[in-house]
Amino acid sequence: MAETTYLEAIRQALFEEMDRDPAVVLIGEDVGVYGGAFKVSEGLLERFGWERVIETPISESAIVGAAVGMGYAGLRPVAEMQFIDFIACCFNQITNFAAKSHYRWGAPVPMVLRGPSGGGVHGGPFHSANPEMYFVHTPGLKVICPATPYDAKGLLKSAIRDNNPVLFFEHKYLYRRIKENLPDGDFTVPIGKATVRREGRDLTIVSYAAMLHTSLEAAAELEKEGIQAEVIDLRTLLPLDRDTILASVRKTNKLLVVHEDTRTGGIAGEIAAVVTESAFEDLDGPIRRVTSLDTPVPYAPQLEEYFLPNAAKVVAAARELAHY
Amino acid sequence: MHSAGATEGNLDLGNFEKMASTLTREQYLELYYFMRLNRELEEQMVWLFRQNKIVGGLYSSFGQEAISVGTSYALGPGDWIAPMIRNIGALLVRGFKPRDILTQHMARYTSPTLGKDGTSHFGDLKARHVVSPISMLGDLIPVMTGIAMAGRYLGQKIVTMTWIGDGGTSTGVFHEGLNLAAVQKAPLVLIVENNQWAYSTPVERQAPLKNLADRAKAYGIESAIVDGNDAVAVERTTREAVAHARAGNGPVLIEAKTMRMRGHAQHDAAEYVPKEMLEAWKKRDPLDRYEKFLNENKLWDAKTKKEIDARIAREIQTDVEFAENSPFPPPELAEQGVYCEGCHTVEADWKRPKEEVMPPRSSVKPEWPVRALLGARQKETKLFAGNGARPPTQKKVAPKSKPGKKPARVPVRAKVGR
């Protein structure tokens, strides 16, 4: 057992998978000598050499395209986006090439595309994005948003071993802010399985990534008022673990979805549809959501704070829902 | 008046020496077989299209057969290709049969994609090393670069090849992909099939270049220009480019000058193409010219031609019947196969000991090797002379390295972000 940050957990997963399997390679901008913009890949070049830690020009489409090709040749490439916002530059390679490959012609794309996402660090409109829903809307991809060091490590290992293109969104706010004792030795976390982080009877809060911690903070506040919130961590957005969500809603009869992604078209809408389709009779109140605003991510701290969800906003929405 | 560069006489073979042909008589006849099969199959599909038997669009490579066939013929069995829409000839060379192409176009359950995709959008990772294209142009270039890089990593000594049209060279990913291949010295051969038209847009509106091969200069890679309607020249030039790439000298771009003799697709009457242009190119028909080559070199006789043509007619007829008698896919197939859940294995074909790439690679230092601090950049100072800006004065600072001495290794910090 060793206390490990979220960032260190990701690095450990890369190290251990590259140690385990020579087919695993890393490709991206500044991933070698510099160790990546956030130092996630620090030390990998020294250990695995230039052939397996591949520095590229600033060419996101080429990075993803090359990773797809490497996957076709039997490798298991991990491609890094320096900031996840730049994933927009390679949208076509992801959505048209990688995602459709297995369906169209039976060619698996065992690729992981990972990078730092999320706000709260004053990155402004181009270094703070949560682009997960562009890809949740793309059949053929898997989309992972881990919230804890244990999940980050275990899910990244699962992603590398998966035969499908997996997008792995690392929340940069969590990189060095959270720590967890991780067990020694190899472990994985299954893709597509949500988990209950806190049990409760009065309402269900569904969240993921950094907002899981906000939701847990809110749940602790709500407890002081006698409101028992159940908190679910989605962990994987695609495929979505409908069963865990539905089981909880059938127990608490109320649902609040909290996400840092913007409101319109966020995962809350899909979850609301799933719940009304399958558990409408179990609902004792309207489905509520606490999300970021429908705007780009603003730069000034005052603006960003206003833009983002926080524990107080979650508490207010949950309280209202609990008393509905 | 539209002028086509390729109608000029002497085509430059670029940096490649003209080399004597090395093909056997059987191989020359095989080239004819594939080119003729390419043409006859596509002409047959025009008839099927008119009978409403082709479900979607139909694209013709009429007049471009020498490129698809000649380029792919220069590859070895372990090499990889990714064809574009007008490269059915390359699929045939790679071992796919007319029935594969017919059933694809006719959306039958017996097609390589079971009806999930059409046209030339199919492939075979394991046996034929063919990557299925997507409709967005340029995206195959980094993908084939990735396979080339993987092949080198795995010790396979392979070459990858893909094609792109004159219009496709305008896409961003063409440049990203070719640049990555160049810096990686990846064994990629890129065929720029300059057929003068991107849908209705003439090549002059794509790039103000006489030769699209000039694009290679921007990436510091080798290039060649070849008469795309001359199958022998295409095959020969490509064979040399493949050898160049396989030897580890980096990617090669070959511009094959040709003409799209039909519309963009079957629905397009291409009235925007000047008639005299079509007439000029009609005289350069690749099959007519290749038959003339075979005649002049006494590589065949009328009987041989008749036999090959009869074989092609037979094969097409059999496969058309096969396709027409094939079922359409069951509707519920639509929701199957989005993910690979154990249905395919992912396995690399290692041709070198894995131990070579396994840790610890203790000799690797996280620093950039630098040949010379400033010397390599000095040539660029003339760029500043013309616009009045002062050229950087660097000469005195440049270190003098003695000949034969190892280049200095200086750690350089890479920049973060943009």
The C-alpha of A243 sits at a distance from chain B's nearest C-alpha, in angstroms, of 20
Cis bond leading into A131, ω under 30°? no
Subunit contact B354:A96, Cβ cutoff 8 A: no
Question: B335, B355, B377: which is the final residue of a domain?
Answer: B335
Q: In B, residues 145-164, which contact A (CB 8 Å cutoff)?
A: 145-151, 153-154, 160
In this prediction, the answer to ipTM > 0.90 reads: yes
Q: What angle do CA A76, A81, A87 make, to 5 degrees?
A: 105
Residues of chain B above pLDDT 90, percent: 80
- Reported as a single tens digit per residue, the pLDDT across B407-417 is 444 444 434 33
Closest CA to B150 of A287, A272, A25, A166: A25
Output the average pLDDT for chain A.
Answer: 97
Residues B46 and B109 in one domain: yes
Lowest average pLDDT, out of B25-39, B76-90, B347-361, goes to: B347-361
Same domain, B53 and B149: yes
**Does one domain contain both B304 and B381?**
no
Give domain status of residue B121, yes or no.
Answer: yes
* CB contact (8 A) between residue B149 and residue A66: yes
In a domain, B124, yes or no: yes
Contact flag B117-A105 (C-beta cutoff 8 Å): yes
Q: Which of B320, B335, B350 represents a domain boundary (last residue)?
A: B335
Say whether both B322 and B407 belong to one domain: no
Q: Does residue B347 fall inside a structural domain? A: no
Confidence of residue A66 (pLDDT cuts 50, 70, 90): very high
pLDDT band at B397 (very low <50, low <70, confident <90, very high): very low
Residue pLDDT, tens place only, A6-45:
999 999 999 999 999 999 999 999 999 999 999 999 999 9
**Reported confidence tier of residue B229, pLDDT bands at 50, 70, 90:** very high
pLDDT band at B21; cut points 50, 70, 90: low
The sheet that has B222-227: what strands, in order across it? B80-82, B160-165, B188-194, B252-257, B222-227
Q: Residues B119, B168: one domain? A: yes
Distance from CA of A218 to the nearest CA of B (A): 34
In chain A, residues with a C-beta closer than 8 Å to the C-beta of B358 are: 19, 22
* pLDDT score of B373: 64
Strands (E), chain A: 2-5, 24-28, 53-55, 76-80, 112-117, 142-144, 166-171, 179-182, 195-198, 203-207, 229-233, 236-238, 255-262, 288-292
Could you tell me if B371 and B302 lie in one domain?
no
Look at chain B and report how many structural domains it folds into: 2
3-state SS, residue B165: strand
Residue A72 in this model has a pLDDT that exceeds 50 = yes
Confidence of residue B390 (pLDDT cuts 50, 70, 90): very low
Q: What is the pLDDT of residue A2?
A: 82
Answer whether residue B7 shows pLDDT above 80. no
Residue B267 in any domain: the answer is: yes
Quick one: B370 and B310 in the same domain? no
Confidence (pLDDT) at B369: 76
Residues B327 and B411 reside in one and the same domain: no
- Provide mean pLDDT across the span B337-343: 95
CB–CB contact B145 A62 (8 Å)? yes
The predicted-structure confidence for B91-129, as pLDDT tens digits, reads as follows 999 999 999 999 999 999 999 999 999 999 999 999 999
Please give the pLDDT value at position B380.
44
Is residue B341 in a domain? no
Residues B319 and B390 in one domain: no
Q: Does residue B383 carry a pLDDT above 60? A: no
Give the domain extent around B104: 5-335
- The C-alpha angle A92, A96, A101, rounded to 5 degrees, equals 140
Whether B55 is covered by a domain: the verdict is yes
Among A285-294, B337-346, B384-393, name the one with the lowest average pLDDT.
B384-393
Residue B28's CATH number: 3.40.50.970
Residue A319, min C-alpha distance to chain B (Å): 41
* Residue-level pLDDT at B377: 52
Whether residues A65 and B145 touch (CB distance < 8 A) is answered with yes
pTM of the model: 0.91
Same domain, B127 and B255: yes
Helix (DSSP H) and strand (DSSP E) numbers for chain B: 11, 7
Per CB-CB distance under 8 Å, the chain A contacts of B132 are 101, 104-105, 107
User: Based on the domain organization, do B412 and B278 belong to the same domain?
Assistant: no
Q: B177 with B299, same domain? A: yes
Residues A248 and A202: beta-carbon distance below 8 Å: no
Token couple for B371: 């040949």
Higher local confidence (pLDDT), A114 or B5? A114
More confident of the two residues B350 and B368: B350
CB contact under 8 A, A72 and B366: no
Report chain B residues whose CB lies below 8 A from the CB of A104. 113, 116-117, 121, 132
Angle between helix axes B286-296 and B25-50 (nearest 10 degrees) is 150
Q: Is the pLDDT of residue B139 over 50?
A: yes
Domains of chain A: 2-182 (3.40.50.970), 195-322 (3.40.50.920)
Q: Is B374 on the interface with A (CB under 8 A)?
A: no
